[in-house]
């Protein structure tokens, strides 16, 4: 399976995917492209070190959002991935891209959806809101991308306990280490091996009980 990974920042989730492919945790998978809307994203350096082709195009370089959307769609069509992985990508994925790759785009979100998700919930903002609300448990979710924001079928979730004295930064790091870097590679491996399908708007995993035990 060929995957294209879309990133905007440091690329820690990208690195987790690269490492998991190298270690064999993700099988039958190669990264055919890393795209970033931010030409200065360190994630691009991670990709180059791993010998992965990169493309960086900012929406600001286009005359309109429509032009950017068309360009992004063409970049992805040219790469011809079997799966698109949003790994810390802060660009709203255009409807044209979602329609061109139905149930073939996945995203990692740093909360237990449907909590703290949707428009405006990204990056540290998610953890700030969780701490403001005083929840005891947060976590991460991998889901398919549809036309909504964080509304597609959920594939995997992993809870992470919130501890006294947590700051948004500390919580963000714990959720990355304990949840994001585990469930994103696992979801990619499951999809690469034909163990995930969408039925009636829900993601169904073959051998789900076994997967849960691994988490």
Residue-wise pLDDT for 10-27, tens only, equals 999 999 999 999 999 999
> What count of Cα atoms within 13 Å lies in the side-chain half-sphere of residue 125?
10
pLDDT of residue 102: 96
pLDDT of residue 98: 96
Measure the CA angle with vertex 33, ends 29 and 34; round to 5°: 110
At 135, list the tokens.
């929840």
Q: Render pLDDT for 47-92 as a digit per residue (tens, 0 to 9).
A: 999 999 999 999 999 999 999 999 999 999 999 999 999 998 988 8
What CA–CA distance (Å, rounded) separates 8 from 172? 16
pLDDT of residue 132: 97
Count of residues for the chain?
215
- Of the candidate CATH numbers 3.40.50.170, 3.30.70.2190, 3.30.1950.10, 3.90.220.20, the domain formed by 1-101 belongs to 3.40.50.170
Boundaries of CATH 3.40.50.170 in the chain? 1-101, 107-215
pLDDT of residue 90: 86
pLDDT of residue 215: 85
Residues of the chain with pLDDT under 50: none
Specify whether domain 107-215 bears CATH 3.40.50.10420: no
Kindly report the backbone phi and psi dihedral angles of residue 142, in degrees, each rounded to the nearest multiple of 5, phi listed first: -105, 130
34 preceded by a cis bond (ω within 30 of 0) = no
**Active-site pick, 109, 127, 143, 202:** 109
109 is known as an active-site residue = yes
pLDDT of residue 91: 87
């Amino acid at each position: 399976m060929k995957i294209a990974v879309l990133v905007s920042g440091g690329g820690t989730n990208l690195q987790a995917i690269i490492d998991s492919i190298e270690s064999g945790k993700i099988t039958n998978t190669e990264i055919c492209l890393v795209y970033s809307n931010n030409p200065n994203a360190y994630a691009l350096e991670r990709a180059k070190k791993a010998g992965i082709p990169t493309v960086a195009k900012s929406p600001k370089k286009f005359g309109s959002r429509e032009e950017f959307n068309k360009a992004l769609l063409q970049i992805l069509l040219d790469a011809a991935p079997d799966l698109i992985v949003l790994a810390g990508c802060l660009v709203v994925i255009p409807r044209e891209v979602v329609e061109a790759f139905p149930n073939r785009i996945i995203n990692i979100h740093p909360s237990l959806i449907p909590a703290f998700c949707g428009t405006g919930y990204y990056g540290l903002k998610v953890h700030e809101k969780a701490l403001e609300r005083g929840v005891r448990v947060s976590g991460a979710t991998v889901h398919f991308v549809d036309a909504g924001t964080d509304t597609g079928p959920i594939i995997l979730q992993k809870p992470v306990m919130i501890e006294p004295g947590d700051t948004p930064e500390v919580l963000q790091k714990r959720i990355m280490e304990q949840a994001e870097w585990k469930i994103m590679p696992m979801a990619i491996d499951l999809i690469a091996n034909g163990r995930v399908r969408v039925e009636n708007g829900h993601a169904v995993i073959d051998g789900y009980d076994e997967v849960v035990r691994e988490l």
